Amino acid sequence: MSVEAIFVSVAADKLKRFADQIAICLGKLSDEQIWARGHENENAVGNLVLHLKGNVRQWILHGLGGQPDIRVRDREFAAAGGETGSELAAGIRETVEQAVAIIAALTTEQLTRIYTIQGRTVSGVEALMQVGEHFAQHTGQIIYATKNLTGQDLGLVMPRKR
């Protein structure tokens, strides 16, 4: 297996795993908890899910996949409700599934090509790294918030070593 094939496989698998963890969190929270903010400078879990969806759409679907850039970033943080936990979970899973299809089809040429995404000049590899790191960071925040809001052990474990 080539380095490129391993890289795109791992990138796609991580996004799917994080989306599954977010869905577990959303399933443990009430809609009120999903949209709760401790103070005005804090993002609710719902805002973080919308933000991840927008980021993946902009960087992968648009940046690497050539789809239209429909992101309105400010709306991701301004939202104070409107979507239920099940709707948010379905939305992030659908976006990740679309991204995974694009990632799986990336060629070496596309991974090494230079793109301008969100005003930044990056290679395809850098775009995938940015999305993965960003998704991991906010997934961790969602997990932490869920534990704080529910007081529960979420049962999330790392995958087995290969």
Encoded tokens for 141:
């925040």
- Number of domains within the chain: 1
Domain interval for residue 74: 3-150
CATH number for the domain harbouring residue 80? 1.20.120.450
pLDDT tens track for 72-121: 998 999 898 889 999 999 999 999 999 999 999 999 999 999 999 999 99
| pLDDT for the residue numbered 27 | 96
| Closest alpha carbon to 98 in 136, 71, 58 | 58
Is the overall model pTM greater than 0.85, yes or no? Answer: yes
Is 133 within a domain? Answer: yes
| pLDDT for the residue numbered 154 | 87
Give the integer Cα–Cα distance in Å for 161 and 112.
Answer: 29
